[in-house]
Amino acid sequence: MKILLVEDSATLRYAISRYINEVGHEAILAQDGEEAMHIVDETAVDMIIMDVEMPGLDGFETTSLIREMLGEHWVPIIFVTGKSEESDFKEGIEAGGDDYLIKPVSRVILKAKIRAMERIIDMRNELNKANRELTELSERDSLTRLYNRRTFENRAQDYWRQANRSRDPLSILLLDIDHFKAFNDSYGHIAGDDCIRKVSASIAQCANRPGDMVARFGGEEFIVLLTNTPESGARHVAEQIREAILDLRIEHRESSACEYVTISIGGGTLNNTQNGDLTSLVHAADQALYRSKDNGRNCVSVRQYTPLPKLLLLDQHSHTRPMIEKQLLSHCTLISADTYTDALSAAQQQNPDIVVLDDDDINQALNFCRHLSELNAVRVPIILITNEDDSNAHTPFDQLVVLHKPVDSRSLLANINRFLL
From the number of C-beta atoms within 10 Å of its C-beta (0-12, 13-18, 19+), residue 302 rates as: buried
Q: Distance between the two ends of the chain, CA-based, in angstroms?
A: 68
Q: In 112-240, at which residue ranges do the beta strands (DSSP E only) sit?
A: 170-177, 212-218, 221-227
CB 366: neighbour CB atoms within 10 A?
Answer: 22
Burial annotation 210-221 (CB, 10 A radius, 16+ → b, else e):
eebbbbbbeebb
SS3 content of the chain, % helix, strand, coil (to 5): 50, 20, 30
d(CA 347, CA 380): 9
165: amino acid identity, one letter = R
d(CA 146, CA 212): 12
Q: Determine whether 220 is an active site residue.
A: yes
193: amino acid identity, one letter = D
Residue whose C-alpha is closest to residue 255's, from 195, 315, 172, 305: 195
Judged by phi (left if over 0) then psi (alpha if -120 to 50, else beta), residue 96 lies in left
Taking each helix axis from N to C end, the angle separating 149-166 and 278-294, rounded to the nearest 10 degrees, works out to 110
d(CA 218, CA 210): 23
Instruction: Decide if 324 contacts 334 (C-beta within 8 A).
Output: yes
Instruction: Decide if 173 contacts 302 (C-beta within 8 A).
Output: yes
In sign, the C-alpha dihedral spanning 213, 217, 220, 221 is negative
Residue whose C-alpha is closest to residue 359's, from 398, 340, 385: 385
Give me the catalytic one of 220, 239, 243, 251. 220
Alpha helices in 1-106 (DSSP H): 10-22, 33-42, 59-70, 86-95
| HSE, side-chain direction, 13 A CA sphere, residue 228 | 7
Active-site amino acid positions: 220
